[in-house]
Amino acid sequence: MNPLRWLGKYVIDSIQGLGRASLFLLEVVSGSRKLVRRFDLVVQQVFAVGVLTLLIIVVSGLFVGMVLGLQGYHTLAKFGAADSLGLLVALSLVRELGPVVTALLFAGRAGSALTAEIGLMKATEQLAGMEMMAVNPIERVIAPRLVAGIIAMPLLATMFSAIGVLGGQLIGVGLLGVDSGAFWSQMQSGVSFHEDVLNGVIKSIVFGVVVTWIAVFQGHESVPTSEGVSRATNRTVVYSSLAVLALDFIMTALMFK
Amino acid sequence: MGILRWRAEKLPTVIRKDILNDTRVVTGASDALVEFRDVQFFRGDRAILDGLSLTIPRGKVTAIMGGSGCGKTTLLNLIGGRLRPSAGQVLVDGVSVPGLNTRDLFALRKRMGMLFQNGALLTDLDVFENVAFPIREHKRLPEPILRNVVLMKLEAVGLRGARDLMPAELSGGMARRVALARTISLEPMMVMYDEPFTGLDPISKGVIAKLIRELNTGLGITSILVSHDVADACAISDYAYLIGSGRVIGQGTPRQMQESAVDEVRQFMDGLPDGPVPYRYPAPGYLDDLLQGRRT
Amino acid sequence: MIQRRQLELWVGLFVAAGLLALAMLAFRVGNLASGAVTNGYSVKAEFSDIGGLKVRAPVTLAGVRVGRVSAISLDPSNYEAVVTMELDGRYNNIPVDTSASILTSGLLGEQYVGLDPGGASQYLKNGSSIQITQSALVLEKIISQFLFSMASKSGSHKQQ
């Protein structure tokens, strides 16, 4: 096939895929209205995507905060502004690293698991079986997972940021000798709840929607073979990582002027 | 799938009603539970079903046989409304399945059960909860009554003692029996069996065959049995269809089928390697092919 | 499979931990606690140059934080910057002849408003304005002033 035709086909296929994914999201959202009466399904999924992702989030948050403390200190010390370390750590975490790194880890841990689970349910005809039992799998399987992802992501991201700040304090104050009072007071005077913390939370909610959406869509669309499921899992991680980074850029440009 | 259905619902109500009324007038109360009329189904450009017509009588066990990939599973999916035919009519209990909206289709599905090839049990629920699943989803039963219903269904397949096992702990035959208990938990008017004997040892096969027969005679459930296993299918069915190249190529009672003189039927019934269905995949001349290798 | 009770317990803990983290970000990391001025009052001050002062910058008296800058605007009649400050209600005895100056914390730090109390017996209240102000020091202006004075000095040396 000549490259021009290949490119044209690629573009058309991508647009068609986006359309399919959007219609799918529409279907899931309309199917999630019935979850009000079946909230136990959502709780179950919050456990699967949230609680089970907690450990990796806590550990990563701690290390990211510690690295920020270490790197930030040496850079700031050159300008004699080591007292601003707390501000640097907190702002980096709350605005960017918290939501973004959490979303990337979430895509790797929970997103891939969601895709594989739904893909295997499809491959083993569990979804078809539900349809034949007059149970709509979109409402029973997909919608609770999407809602759970949207609930879990901001919670995980705030935990990541909070742990990260503690990690930064551990290194900055504990190891490098930044004054504890300066560390916290600089942070408090520089970090705005409405502008920084809330915008970070909004970011992570958007990431929650996008990553979970991609994960459940890829699972639902996967070719029901072992190879198909593994490809779909792969796509989930790649697509959601790219989507998170691109959206982060756009939202940062809109939020922090 | 879902999107397709969604689109169908957007059709003007008038047209949909016409379709429904029309089919009802034509069929009325016949003793055919399922009826296919000149059904065509395409996947891409390939015709899976091409002008297929058959009727499945109420209260009988009907076997549908055919080679691998001849569209047997497609046929079941058409009955269940998971697929829509490209042309022709699919009637279940006098109602055209493709014309139904989601709600009516789901109401119809509650009255039919389907046993999938590998059982399709929900892997995150134990045996008890798997059987309870359709009841919990569709009926509000108090817990003690629900428990009794589930245990009755499990007893019917002889697995009351296995209620706490997870699907991963079951053998293939047991999984299929649990799936059968789940299929009949809403007391359907008919059950579709998709390759119920594949991959089972002789004992499990015998158990499944006995269960299919018992459910049919005991509860009067119409059974549709899709299989490529001639001996097992013929042993328990009242009537059999043989499907090839998207059409019915032979039909009759199992005995008639065994004695049929039609070439296609003979080849299938006797398991002959060559016949109307060729042994070789179409290829250029053998000698030419070999010589070509030397030339290049 | 995990028991239902246990599962709900874990999810509850998870949500609680998330909310706790949010509370920490709000009160310990962010300025929700310090930014919320309780029954505060606002005063105005006009500066000819505010330098890099930003909304939400702290207002301090003797180094103690007593409020924050709530708005900055330009007075079109005299081209001066109008800085509105929200002062904490607890500090309701700041004299009216207090002066306000824009200071910098450290060499490159943030700019803030420093109050220097006067000796009047009347106190600032909601809506009053501070009369005596000192504008921000802008580095370029200081340098050019310095160079100018150096140049004029060397010029007078030559004349001698």
At residue B284 the predicted structure's pLDDT band, cuts being 50, 70 and 90, is confident
* Residue given tokens 């959406």 in the structure block: A213
ipTM above 0.85, yes or no: no
- Map residue C23 onto helix, strand or coil: helix
Q: Give the separation between CA C56 and CA C71, rounded to whole angstroms.
A: 8
Evaluate whether residue C156 is within a structural domain.
no
Together in a domain, C45 and C117: yes
Which residues of B make CB contacts under 8 Å with C? 124-126, 166
Together in a domain, C67 and C127: yes
Evaluate whether residue C125 is within a structural domain.
yes
Evaluate whether residue C59 is within a structural domain.
yes
Together in a domain, C50 and C116: yes
Evaluate whether residue C152 is within a structural domain.
no
Residue type, A231: R
CB B224 within 8 A of CB B192: yes
Together in a domain, C94 and C119: yes
Evaluate whether residue C147 is within a structural domain.
no
Evaluate whether residue A129 is within a structural domain.
yes
Together in a domain, C69 and C121: yes
Domain count, chain A: 1
CB atoms within 10 A of CB B212: 23
Which residues of A make CB contacts under 8 Å with C? 40, 43-44, 46-47, 50-51, 54, 79-81, 83-84, 90, 94, 151-152, 154-156, 158-159, 161-163, 165, 184, 187-193, 196-197, 201
The set of chains that have 3 or more CB pairs under 8 A with C is: A, B
CB A164 within 8 A of CB A61: yes
Evaluate whether residue C1 is within a structural domain.
yes
Evaluate whether residue C146 is within a structural domain.
no
Together in a domain, C2 and C17: yes
Model confidence pLDDT, tens digit, residues C53-84: 877 788 888 888 888 888 889 989 988 899 99
Report residue A126: phi and psi, to 5°: -65, -35
A224 burial type by CB count under 10 A (0-12 exposed, 13-18 middle, 19+ buried): middle
Could A44 and C26 be called an inter-chain contact, meaning their C-beta atoms sit closer than 8 Å? no
- Map residue C53 onto helix, strand or coil: coil
Q: Give the separation between CA B34 and CA B60, rounded to whole angstroms.
A: 12
Could A46 and C35 be called an inter-chain contact, meaning their C-beta atoms sit closer than 8 Å? no
Together in a domain, C45 and C84: yes
**pLDDT(B226) > 60:** yes
Cα distances from A231 to residues A112, A146, A239, B196, in angstroms, run 10, 21, 12, 30
Model confidence pLDDT, tens digit, residues B120-169: 899 888 999 999 999 988 888 899 999 999 999 999 888 999 889 999 99
Q: What is the DSSP letter of B282?
A: P
The set of chains that have 3 or more CB pairs under 8 A with A is: B, C
Together in a domain, C56 and C76: yes
Q: Which residues of A touch C11 (CB under 8 A)?
A: 43, 46-47, 50-51
The set of chains that have 3 or more CB pairs under 8 A with B is: A, C
Q: Which residues of B touch A129 (CB under 8 A)?
A: 114, 116, 120-122, 179
Q: What is the pLDDT along chain A (257 residues), one digit of tens a residue?
A: 688 899 999 999 989 999 999 999 999 999 888 888 888 889 999 999 999 999 999 999 999 999 999 999 999 988 888 888 999 999 999 999 999 999 999 999 999 999 999 999 999 889 999 988 989 999 999 999 999 999 999 999 999 999 999 999 999 999 998 888 888 888 887 888 888 899 999 999 999 999 999 999 999 999 999 999 999 999 999 999 999 999 999 999 998 86
Q: Give the separation between CA B253 and CA B261, rounded to whole angstroms.
A: 14
Together in a domain, C104 and C129: yes
Domain count, chain C: 2
CA-nearest residue of chain C to B125? C1
Could C28 and A188 be called an inter-chain contact, meaning their C-beta atoms sit closer than 8 Å? yes
Evaluate whether residue A25 is within a structural domain.
no
- Best residue in C7, C9, C13, C14 to probe A by mutation, most A CBs within 10 Å? C14
Q: What is the DSSP letter of C95?
A: B
Together in a domain, C55 and C88: yes
CB B167 within 8 A of CB B200: no
CB-based contact, C108 to chain B, within 8 Å: no
Q: Which residues of A touch B110 (CB under 8 A)?
A: 133-134
Which residues of A make CB contacts under 8 Å with B? 20, 23-24, 27, 120-121, 124-126, 128-136, 138, 140
Return the higher-pLDDT residue of A218 and C134. Answer: A218
Domain span holding position C18? 1-30
Evaluate whether residue C150 is within a structural domain.
no
Half-sphere CA count of B253, side-chain side, radius 13 A: 3
Model confidence pLDDT, tens digit, residues A26-74: 999 998 888 888 888 899 999 999 999 999 999 999 999 999 999 999 9
Domain span holding position A199? 39-255
Together in a domain, C55 and C130: yes
